[in-house]
């Protein structure tokens, strides 16, 4: 039988498996218990953030994503915080990232995307980047690892940890008096030449260079600038030393050349890309509704060390799960007809009446509700109750003719809404146990599962010769 699972919950979100791990954060699968929607929970440790002096960067990332609401950008739903953690609730992209897709293709004979598919991804990337720039947001770390795919294969830009905001966008600035960005950041193979020159750069044109590198990778199956020696790599980037494969179409090659222009002043801009003949083929602009002004209340609350803003964290044990084979092996029928057995079964009975010391039945509903019902039915009958998650120990306060009656119950999960309940006498008189069970069954009658052929029969009318 499967082991008992512990279900972690943060506010209204169930926390599941780990789906990503970084230096400063762990990303776990989550589910909104109110809507059933899948989400990604980016979890950050507050102590580590302060230790690495990262609170400002994380606040900038969160605030940046709050500004953006676009179908080709991973959506940020809300920000939560506990005493020790910050939880960023994000849209869950089920298709993995673009880097993983390219890596798989490299193992195939041609090793690259078809041109039409590459164009569609690039069109969606430009849609997202154009929108971000219109909101004063510059990503600064565009690469396939940060481009996720949803179930329909649509591209979603993610990870704004190195992003910058313009003067017009808000308070988190990375600009000198000249209006240019000066922080050297990003992934070396995708960084624009002007970023490496350390003379200041425009965030929009630098992002476009990275888009050009991504387009080259999508079409060619390899990066335009590669070298094990970092200084040689930078030399190739600054000089735009690359060559296009012979199989690239003239339109694709021309667009790449215009984007990978080492001079940011003459490099193609997004309005020109949108008018490019190769780009415009089968182009579908993103359709979406603009959101109202972004509210940063939950962002500010997440960084306030105040209990009134803390979300509740719970670790809830789940009932021991049971598969179909285990269920069948334990009982041939689980319904009210199995409450009382008249046939003697040596392995389970040890009394003159042939009454069972252990009874199982299937019940419909949540496991915690079943626990509450058993508890509510047992207390008026004079039982002291000890609970251990989905196991209970019941002990009769007054001793019977064979001493104190003790009963153990346990709930096993068959499915989220169907459980098998086991009620077992551990000490005392078996007849007294069955009298207790008859009263318990009356209380639980509304949740006990009944098969179609037994739903119109009472417990006393139904007999069976199967042994549990």
pLDDT per residue as tens digits for the range 176-196? 556 677 777 778 999 999 999
- Span of 141-145, 189-193, 248-252, 334-338 with lowest mean pLDDT: 334-338
Give residue 324's pLDDT: 56
- Nearest-Å Rg of the Cα atoms of the chain is 32
Question: Considering only 46-55, 91-100, 233-242, which range has the smallest mean pLDDT?
Answer: 46-55
Instruction: Specify the residue for token string 């396939």.
Output: 144
Which tokens go with 462?
């139904």
Domains of the chain in start order, with CATH, are: 11-92 (3.30.200.20), 95-288 (1.10.510.10), 321-461 (3.30.310.80)
Give the pLDDT score at 461: 37
Sign of CA dihedral 171, 173, 175, 177: positive
Say how far apart CA 345 and CA 148 lie, in whole Å: 60
Separation between Cα atoms, residue 433 and residue 256, nearest integer Å: 81
Residue the block writes with tokens 């704004």: 160
For residues 142 and 132, is the Cβ–Cβ distance under 8 A?
no
Distance CA 148, CA 101 (A): 10
Angle at Cα 414 formed by Cα 413 and Cα 418, nearest 5°? 85
Q: How many CB atoms lie within 10 A of CB 304?
A: 11
Order of strands across the sheet that contains 85-91: 76-81, 85-91, 38-45, 25-32, 13-21, 6-10, 313-317
Q: What is each CA distance from 426 to 37, 193, 264, 313, 423, in whole angstroms? A: 43, 77, 81, 36, 10
pLDDT tens figures, 443-463: 777 777 655 444 444 444 333
Residues 6+ apart with CB under 8 A from 210: 139, 141, 142, 143, 186, 190, 191, 192
Q: What value does the mean pLDDT take over residues 25-38?
A: 89
Please report how many Cα atoms fall inside a 13 Å half-sphere around the Cα of residue 330, on the Cβ side: 18
More confident site: 385 or 357: 385
Contact yes or no for 156/74 (Cβ under 8 A): yes
Work out the pLDDT band at 294, boundaries 50, 70, 90: low
259 φ, ψ to 5°? -80, -45
Beta-strand relationship, 406-415 and 391-396: antiparallel
CA–CA separation, 428 and 436 (whole Å): 12
The answer to whether residue 168 scores a pLDDT higher than 50 is no
Which pLDDT value is given to residue 107? 74
300 confidence band (pLDDT: 50, 70, 90):
low
- Cα separation, 180 vs 264, in Å, equals 12
Indicate which residues carry an active-site annotation: 141
Written as six digits, the tokens of 244 are 């296009």
Tell me the average pLDDT of the chain: 80
pLDDT value for 380 = 87
Q: Would you state the torsion angle of the CA atoms of residues 446, 447, 453, 458, taken in this order, to the nearest 10 degrees?
A: -40
Q: In 3D, which of 89, 242, 231, 91 has the Cα closest to residue 154?
A: 91
Cα–Cα dist 439/32, whole Å? 38
Per-residue tokens: 218: 């999508």
Confidence check: pLDDT of 425 > 50: yes
User: Do 213 and 206 form a contact (C-beta atoms < 8 A)?
Assistant: no
Bin 200: left if φ > 0, else alpha if -120 < ψ < 50, else beta.
left
More confident residue, 209 or 56: 209
Please check if 83 is assigned to a binding site. no
Q: What is the band of 200 on the pLDDT scale with cuts at 50, 70, 90?
A: confident
pLDDT in tens, 58-107: 877 787 788 888 999 999 888 888 888 889 999 999 888 999 888 888 77
Q: What is the DSSP string of 312-342?
A: PEEEEEPPEE--HHHHHHH-S--SGGGSS--
Longest dimension (CA), the chain: 98
User: How many Å apart are CA 279 and CA 268, to the nearest integer?
Assistant: 13
Yes or no: say if 128 and 65 are a contact pair by the CB < 8 Å rule. Answer: no
- 224 exposure class (CB count in 10 Å sphere: 0-12, 13-18, 19+): buried
- Choose between 412 and 402: higher pLDDT: 412
């Amino acid at each position: 039988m499967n082991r008992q699972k512990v279900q972690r919950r943060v506010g209204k979100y169930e926390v599941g498996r780990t789906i990503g791990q970084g230096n400063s954060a762990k990303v776990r699968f989550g589910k909104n218990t109110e809507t059933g929607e899948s989400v990604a929970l980016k979890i950050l440790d507050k102590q580590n953030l302060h230790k690495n002096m990262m609170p400002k960067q994380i606040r900038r990332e969160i605030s940046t994503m709050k500004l953006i609401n676009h179908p080709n950008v991973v959506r940020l739903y809300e920000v939560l915080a506990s005493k020790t953690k910050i939880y960023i609730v994000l849209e869950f992209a089920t298709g993995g990232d673009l880097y993983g897709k390219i890596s798989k293709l490299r193992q195939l004979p041609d090793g690259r995307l078809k041109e039409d598919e590459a164009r569609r991804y690039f069109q969606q990337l430009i849609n997202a980047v154009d929108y971000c720039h219109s909101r004063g947001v510059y990503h600064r770390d565009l690469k396939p690892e940060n481009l996720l795919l949803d179930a329909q294969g649509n591209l979603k830009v993610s990870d704004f940890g190195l992003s910058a905001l313009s003067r017009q966008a808000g308070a988190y600035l990375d600009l000198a008096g000249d209006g240019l960005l000066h922080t050297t950041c990003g992934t070396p193979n995708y960084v624009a030449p002007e970023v490496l020159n350390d003379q200041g750069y425009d965030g929009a044109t630098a992002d476009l260079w990275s888009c050009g590198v991504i387009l080259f990778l999508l079409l060619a199956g390899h990066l335009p600038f590669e070298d094990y020696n970092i200084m040689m790599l930078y030399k190739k980037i600054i000089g735009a030393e690359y060559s296009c494969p012979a199989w690239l179409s003239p339109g694709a090659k021309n667009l790449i050349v215009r984007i990978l222009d080492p001079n940011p002043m003459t490099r193609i801009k997004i309005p020109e890309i949108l008018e490019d003949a190769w780009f415009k083929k089968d182009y579908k602009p993103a359709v979406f509704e603009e959101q109202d002004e972004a509210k940063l209340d939950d962002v500010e609350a997440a960084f306030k060390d105040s209990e009134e803003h803390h979300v509740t964290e719970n670790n809830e044990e789940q009932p021991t799960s049971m598969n179909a084979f285990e269920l069948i092996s334990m009982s041939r029928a689980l319904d009210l007809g199995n409450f009382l057995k008249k046939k003697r079964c040596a392995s389970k009975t040890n009394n003159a009446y042939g009454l069972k010391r252990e009874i199982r039945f299937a019940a419909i509903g949540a496991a915690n509700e079943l626990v509450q019902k058993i508890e509510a039915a047992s207390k008026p009958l004079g039982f002291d109750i000890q609970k251990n998650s989905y196991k209970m120990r019941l002990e009769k306060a007054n001793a019977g003719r064979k001493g104190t009656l003790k009963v153990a119950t346990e709930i096993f999960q068959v499915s989220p809404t169907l459980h098998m309940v086991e009620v077992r006498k551990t000490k005392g008189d078996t007849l007294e146990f069955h009298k207790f069970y008859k009263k318990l069954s009356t209380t639980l009658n509304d949740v006990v599962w009944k098969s179609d052929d037994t739903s119109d029969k009472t417990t006393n009318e139904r007999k069976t010769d199967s042994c549990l």
